[in-house]
Amino acid sequence: MQVAVFDSHRYDQAALTRANRRFDHCLQFFEPRLNLSTAPLAHGFEVVCPFVNCRLDAATLGVLNKGGTRMVALRAAGFNGIDLPAARQLGMVVARVPAYSPHAVAEHAFALLLSLVRKTHRAYNRVRDANFSLDGLVGFDLHGKTFGLVGAGRIGRVAAKIAVGFGCRVLICDPQLSAEDARILCSEKVDFSNLLSRADIISLHLPLTSDTQHLFDSQAFSQCKSNALLVNTSRGGLIHTSALIDALKSKRLGGVALDVYELEEGVFFENLSESGIADDHLARLMTFPNVLITSHQGFLTEEALDNIAETTLENIRAFAAGDAVVNAIA
């Protein structure tokens, strides 16, 4: 199959090229994100392969369809950037990668959490400047703290197990979680308000939908403990950024660790060291000493990249062969 891979970087190209030795698709890599302005680049390609921050609205899908594209093979789990009803109306197949390495994202959540708790990012910068003072670097033990998980899918369940390993009490808010699964995860199933009021640490592991958009708004922050830490490795839109900034300014939160950001498109995955950051909200967040931000790298392990590439190319193979595409969502 002729496949146009958008928003591609060296690590994408390397993983897809390795996996493609078994599939023998014809891959063409494009650096820009896929959107209305770049869609003409895919003219003549039967398959497009976008990433999480590409925008395939109805107009973009229309251009792709006219150019001969019949399949969208998303190399990510989230699909909020794709107009699925429009794709179905055009008869286009949309497939995703529902699971790649839940350990990669869950472990990154704890990498962020531990850095935030023990202030290792600040200590690293100090030592680089030959400042070996410990003033201002006091942290706290994770052991004995209450760890609240919002969402208990594949990643959330791995995070729960890690939290138990640290000796945390685990609360989980997920309507799909059964009592038996809660017992297996050594956790307590609670509602959202209960979790907010009790958790010392809150970690988000749920998709972005119309129901979860801005789940963490000013009302949610008002219910949190004043020293609670919030970790988000899921989707940036789960958090209302202005409300988050207000909560930090008024000290209603103890700290925040983000691997995703509500308006990350055009910022994350880019080198802005010379041009600077035009997003005032993101720039403001970066001024807080109790905020730690990474640029959507939770998936970035060798294992996850290989799994993403393998599943993506298998989705395309099944489509080309006329087999059932098990990961199809449209």
SS3 at position 26 = strand
Question: Is the four-CA dihedral 36, 42, 45, 50 of positive or negative sign?
Answer: negative
Positions annotated as catalytic residues are 235, 264, 296
Strands (E), 259-320: 291-293
The amino acid at 211: D
Q: Running DSSP on this structure, what letter comes out for residue 34? A: P
Distance CA 246, CA 115 (A): 23
Question: Is the four-CA dihedral 166, 171, 172, 177 of positive or negative sign?
Answer: positive
Distance CA 171, CA 23 (A): 43
Beta bridge partner(s), residue 239: 216
Q: How far is CA 168 from CA 146, 160, 163, 185, 186, in A?
A: 6, 9, 5, 12, 10
